[in-house]
Amino acid sequence: MHPIGVFDSGVGGLSVLQALRSELPHERFVYFSDAGYAPYGERDVAHVLQRSLAIGDYLVHRQGVRALVVACNTATAAAIVALRAAYPALPIVGVEPALKPAAARSLTGIVGVLATRGTLASEKFQALLQAQNPKVHFVLQACDGLAAAIEHDDAAQIAALCTRYTANLGRFGGTPGAVDTVVLGCTHYAFAKTELQKRVGPDVTLLDAGQPVAQRTHKLLDQENAANLATGASEKNQIWVDLWTTGTVSTLEDAAQRWLTDCGPVRHVALA
């Protein structure tokens, strides 16, 4: 069974992989963490594009993937067009901040967006922003360092940065002039959801990309007649996720143990 490839600059894409495993429980996955060349969100577009193409080549030609999920907002913005051009026959799914669902959900008409600096500055994000309902006001906040803090499971730093960046969004709640919906525009941020919710309050909705990406991937695989619907007792002890990283093996191991099941050992790969 050929796997589905999933990649991110680090461990953030595991939040998307969680949703994919739930949506497609009989699929096998290869997860690639490019932590040795991270963070993407604070690097230039050329760097992210080059890394994304190198990873795409590795997953297609070395791992034999039959679909590719770019589980990183910054990489999607920088490289998904080039990846689709390079592999026109391959189903490729990217992630983007959930601006449209947030605009539809907001009752106050004020939506906060937490994302990396690279995502907010990208042409793809700016085009997405311009396409939204002009009656909805989006408050944008670059969250320098938050993805890295989540990557290293630094609880104190995560808490401090969540406090700083949510405070910059303004007032929260359901009253006029308040932010009532917040978009998590980086896949890492889903793992800080509890800390973020504490700061914005229980009445504010936090939206991430995991479930929509999983549903989109399922739909594309169905269209390609490629979804694996196999079941059976022989599969109970099968390893469903292979893990690779260009960074420190222990970092991805620790994250996988916290957030995933049915994983194989983490292996290091040198991908210059």
Catalytic residue among 143, 162, 186, 263: 186
Integer Cα distance of 209 and 72 in angstroms: 10
Q: What is the number of structural domains in the chain?
A: 2
Mode of pairing for the β-strands spanning 263-268 and 241-245: parallel
48 and 116 assigned to the same domain: no
130 and 188 assigned to the same domain: yes
Summarised one tens digit per residue, pLDDT across range 132-148 is 999 999 999 999 999 99
pLDDT at 231: 46
Return the residue matching tokens 């896949």. Answer: 187
231 and 257 assigned to the same domain: yes
Average model confidence (pLDDT) across the chain:
92
pTM of the model: 0.88
Domain that holds residue 191: 99-207
Catalytic residue among 72, 143, 162, 263: 72
72 is catalytic: yes
Q: Which residues contact 53 (CB under 8 A, 6 or more apart)?
A: 79, 82, 83, 86
CATH number of residue 241's parent domain: 3.40.50.1860
69 and 139 assigned to the same domain: no
143 is catalytic: no
pLDDT at 76: 95
Last residue of one domain, picked from the residues 159, 183, 207: 207
Torsional sign, CA 103, 108, 114, 119 = positive
109 and 58 assigned to the same domain: no
pLDDT at 234 over 80: no
DSSP string, 95-162: ----HHHHHHH-SSSEEEEEE-HHHHHSHHHHHHHHTS-TTSEEEEEE-TTHHHHHHTT-HHHHHHHH
**What is the mean pLDDT of the segment spanning 167-174?**
97
Q: Does residue 172 contact residue 178 with C-beta atoms inside 8 Å?
A: yes
pLDDT at 261: 77
pLDDT at 55 over 60: yes
